[in-house]
Structures are given as structure tokens and as C-alpha cells.
Amino acid sequence: MEADFVIVGAGSSGCAMAYRLSGAGASVLLIEAGGTDAGPFIQMPAALSYPMNMARYDWGYRSEPEPHLNNRRLATPRGKVLGGSSSINGMVYVRGHARDFDTWAEMGAKGWSYADVLPYYKRMEHWHPGPRDGDRAWRGTDGPLHVTRGPRRNPLYHAFVEAGRQAGYQTTDDYNGEKQEGFGPMEQTVWRGRRWSAANAYLRPALKRPNCDLIRAEARRVVIEEGRAVGVEVVRGGAIELVRARREVIVAASSINSPKLLMLSGIGPAAHLAEHGLPVIADRPGVGANLQDHLEIYFQIASRQPITLYRYWNLISKAVIGAQWLFTKTGLGASNQFESAAFIRSGAGIDYPDIQYHFLPMAVRYDGRAAAEGHGFQAHVGPMRSRSRGHVRLASADPAEAPKITFNYMSHEQDWTEFRQCLRLTREIFAQEAFAPFVRHEIQPGAALQTDEELDGFIREHAESAYHPCGTARMGRADDPMAVVDPETRVIGVDRLRLADSSIFPQITNGNLNAPSIMVGEKAADHILGKPPQPASNMRPWMHPDWAGSQR
């Protein structure tokens, strides 16, 4: 129950750090509250709607009633399992745009510009391109994290990209390479037909080393003596125990549970801690603040042709797909079915994409409930950089009680303007000639909804989280009162304590957050070990030459 480094959370970032720290010869002990990730519900990519709706694998959090979304309480899944949320997510792989990381650096995260983080993306990836895919100079080819592309056999995947081209947008053969902007193939963390989570990529190889171990326990608080973190108090089998760290404690428990753990440990807004009778060790008002997420709409179209995945939406077909996957790891079960994507700008004067599309050849909710109209297809669409900010707060001083999560979605007027634009631009894409053989009619929002007020009403009732919470312990300058960690991921005000996961993002990145969360773990490991950072890249990403004057 003692190691050089004690890591709280065997998720995306925690697994990456365990792999790198143990690989450097340090002893590592991971604390994880969840259980095994074995079994087809997690490992079969096409089964992705199951694990995030299972109490066995998910913390089961919900937001407080969201005042701008008809007081709905939105699901906030977080992985409670080996691999964390990388074991229950949609397996979509997006690095983020270069400007995201340059913005981080401008906000005080020195050393985290795109030139600084690109080498870590390359170090972590094992990219498997086709013969005509992308530019290998931008990608990694021997890292632990396998990144692949689906087969894109359904003609609808190609119709989506062609419709984007017909509407006047760019195309891109690798949105994770030089050029994010445009329509093209989507990438996934799938390898040989299996979900390639952080547990498969990093944790299993690390646990084969004699200096890396894992215990199943729930962290209650970081133990701090004389201003230094010395260990973690955990509950295991009903008993409270202390896990001691000889060098450092590293928190990597998610953007929801990491700020909760800091606050339970006396690190956070002093007045809030006092409310719950907690001692104040470090008054950091930024702990739990700055909560951000992506909201999206499932824009659904009824299909004129019976070529969608709906034809497999019956028990017999599901059994056949499942059996094929179990025995051969091939077939429809071997892909997450998100195989085409797009990143576009919502207007002239916006220098890099602020809208993301996931395309799916079926009209279905994320929880697996199919549209009532049968054959259909959909695009998940939403703005990337909402101005709304929320917070995570303690419900009580009891570590077993879920935190209070308030996203404050759609609280900024600009969010409404951007979301309406998303819906109108999507209608235009589905109206292109490439979709003419396939479009029957619009299921939702529904063609009758045209005015700003009608679209706003639809957004209030139907916008869903894309499950990308982040930013609740943001990285910044050590003298920034709202920063929680410095650019070396050290918690400001407490020695020998670090935090490295999506909590530290100063601003949400473009797209899905699993890739940047793993990158944070990779880069943090070098800071923790005192190694010089990877040499900065001098590669220049593509920017639209007329972004100031043209929307596409």
C-alpha cells in the first residue's frame, strides 16, 4: 500500500501515466473504484450504447435541472471501470484543432501550444492509414494507442462527404493531420475489431511490470501533512485504509470526480468548503468552476431506401452480428459505425471550425432507442466553443455522495445564435444532390420548424450532452487566482500533488475529448519525471486562406 507515485483513477490519463512512469522505473500504484472491463458490452465497438447506461460501468451522474433547457436533468456518464470513460465512450478519435492548444498557451498554460503537444500525440498513436489516407508525417506509427478507420461500406457515408463538397465546403482526408476543416472519414480507437481503450493500450502492458500495481478502492480524500500530499485515504471492503506516496500523489479521476476529491481534501473555494465543515488547506476558487461541455442535436432524416442499419435492429440480426464478432472480431460489430465526419466554420470571420458532425447511417438515440419511423440516418451536430460555464460542487462532506453538477447550458445568448446556425447549415447539407436518392423527409427537428423561436423550442427540449465535460480544475499561471494547476500539472498551494486529466483543460477542444485526455497523461508523465519535454514541432496546420471573408 505504498509506492513512489499513487494515481487516483485508472482512466484515459491515469493509465497513460501509469505506463510512462512505470516504464521509467518508478513504482506506481493505481486506485480505481470500478471493476473489470472484460466482456462484449465494453469490448465490442458496436455495443457502445450499452456500457454508458449500465450502473456496473458508470457513476450514474446527472446534472442539476438545467434552467435554459426546460429544467431537464441531463445524463453525465463517467466511466467507473478499468479504462475509465475510454471504456464506455463512442471510441471517436479527435485530437482537437491546433488553435485550441495555442489558445491554452495564451490563457496561461505555457508549454501547451500545438507545437508543444503535437509530439505527444505522435508518441501515443499507432495510426493505421489506408494507402491514400492523410500525411504520415503528422501522425504517430508506433505508440500504444491504435487508431483506425471504419470500412465505410454503406453508401450513405460517402453521400455525406459528397454533399458537403457540393455545398461548397472543404474535404479532408485526415482531420487529425494537417487539415481539420472539411468533410471526410472519421477515426476510432478500435484495433482488430476490439475497443482499444486506455486499459487495453496502456494499463495492461503497465501491469505486466513488477513495479506497477492496481487496487480496487474508492478514494475519500488526499492526505495532506504540513502542506504536502503524503497519500490517499481509501475505502476498501468497508474499511478505511491509507495508501502512501513516497514521491507524489496524482489525481486523474475525471472532470467530475477530480474536483470533488480536491474539495473533500480541503482544496477549493474556501466559503464552499466551510459550508460543509471541511478544513481549508488551499483556497482555490477555480476548483469545480469553469465546467464546459459540448451539446448536440441528433438531426434525423427518414430514408427513401432500406439501406440503413435499421435492417439489423431486430433480435436475430443482433445475435448474428454478436456471434460473428465473438468468434472472428469482424463484421458490423467491429466498428462504432461513426465512419464519416465534418468540421466546419459557422460563419466568415471565424478562423477555425466551430461545428462538428458525426454521421451515422441510422436514426437512433445514444441510449440505443431507435427512431419510430424505421429506416433513417442522422448527423450529430453542435457548436464546439460554447460561452456557457457551469460548476461542480459538493452535495455534502460525505465522499459517498454524488457531487452537484450544473452545466448552465445555453446561458449565453451567442450559444443560441450558433445552435440555430448549426441546424440551418445541416438542412442545407441534407438538401444537396448527393442525398437526393436517400432523403424521404426530415424526422427531427422537422421541416415545419423554421423560425428562431421554433428552433429554440426544439433545442430546449432535445439538445443532449455529447458527454465531453472538462475544465473544472483549469491549468494556468501560478499567480492566476482561478487556476488550479500550473503548466507542469502541479496543484497550486500543495506540494507533491498533481492533477492531470480533462479537468485541467483551460478551454474545451474541438471534437471528442478522449484523445486530448490521453495526451495530457502522456505530457504530464514527462513533467512528473522531470524529463525535458518532447522537442516542439515546427509543422504548420492548414487554415482556410479566406477565413475572414468566407464561411466555406
In angstroms, the Cα distances linking 195 to 26, 199, 329, 514 are 28, 10, 11, 13
Q: Which of 503, 317, 324 is nearest to 403 (CA)?
A: 503
Tell me, what's the pLDDT at 365? 77
Q: What is the pTM of this model?
A: 0.98
Q: Are 190 and 1 in contact (CB under 8 A)?
A: no
E runs forming strands in 331-460: 340-344, 355-360, 376-383, 391-393, 404-406, 439-444
Residues 6 or more apart whose Cβ sits within 8 Å of residue 99: 114, 351, 352
Tell me, what's the pLDDT at 369? 74
Residue found by looking up cell 426544439 in the block: 458
Tell me, what's the pLDDT at 367? 72
Q: Is 235 annotated as a binding residue?
A: no
Tell me, what's the pLDDT at 131? 77
Q: Is 81 annotated as a binding residue?
A: yes
**How far apart (Å, rounded) are the C-alpha atoms in residues 190 and 291?**
29
Q: Is 91 annotated as a binding residue?
A: yes
Tell me, what amino acid is at 150? G
Residues marked active site are found at 468
* Beta bridge pairs of residue 231: 223, 244
Q: Which of 157, 95, 156, 196 is nearest to 514 (CA)?
A: 95
Q: Is 90 annotated as a binding residue?
A: yes
Dihedral pair phi/psi, residue 67, rounded to 5°? -60, -25
What is the longest distance spanned by two Cα atoms in the chain?
70
Tell me, what's the pLDDT at 373? 84
* Beta bridge pairs of residue 540: none
Instruction: Tell me the domain boundaries of the chain.
Output: 1-46+79-147+187-292+389-399+468-539, 151-185+295-383+410-462
Q: Are 392 and 256 in contact (CB under 8 A)?
A: yes
Q: Which phi-psi region, left, alpha or beta, contains residue 285 (left: φ > 0; alpha: ψ -120 to 50)?
A: alpha
Q: Is 408 annotated as a binding residue?
A: no
Tell me, what's the pLDDT at 132? 78
CA atoms within 13 A on the CB side of 202: 33
- What CATH number should be reported for the domain whose range is 151-185+295-383+410-462? 3.30.410.40
Tell me, what's the pLDDT at 325? 96
Residue 136: count other Cβ atoms within 10 Å of its Cβ: 12
Q: pLDDT tens for the chain, 552 residues: list them.
A: 899 999 999 999 999 999 999 999 999 999 999 999 999 999 999 999 899 889 999 999 999 999 999 999 999 999 999 999 999 999 999 999 999 999 999 999 999 999 999 999 999 999 998 877 888 899 999 999 999 999 999 999 999 999 999 999 999 999 999 999 999 999 999 999 999 999 999 999 999 999 999 999 999 999 999 999 999 999 999 999 999 999 999 999 999 999 999 999 999 999 999 999 999 999 999 999 999 999 999 999 999 999 999 999 999 999 999 999 999 999 999 999 999 999 999 999 999 999 999 999 999 877 777 777 899 999 999 999 999 999 999 999 999 999 999 999 999 999 999 999 999 999 999 999 999 999 999 999 999 999 999 999 999 999 999 999 999 999 999 999 999 999 999 999 999 999 999 999 999 999 999 999 999 999 999 999 999 999 999 999 999 999 999 999
Of 3.40.50.720, 3.40.50.150, 3.40.50.410, 3.50.50.60, the CATH number of 1-46+79-147+187-292+389-399+468-539 is 3.50.50.60
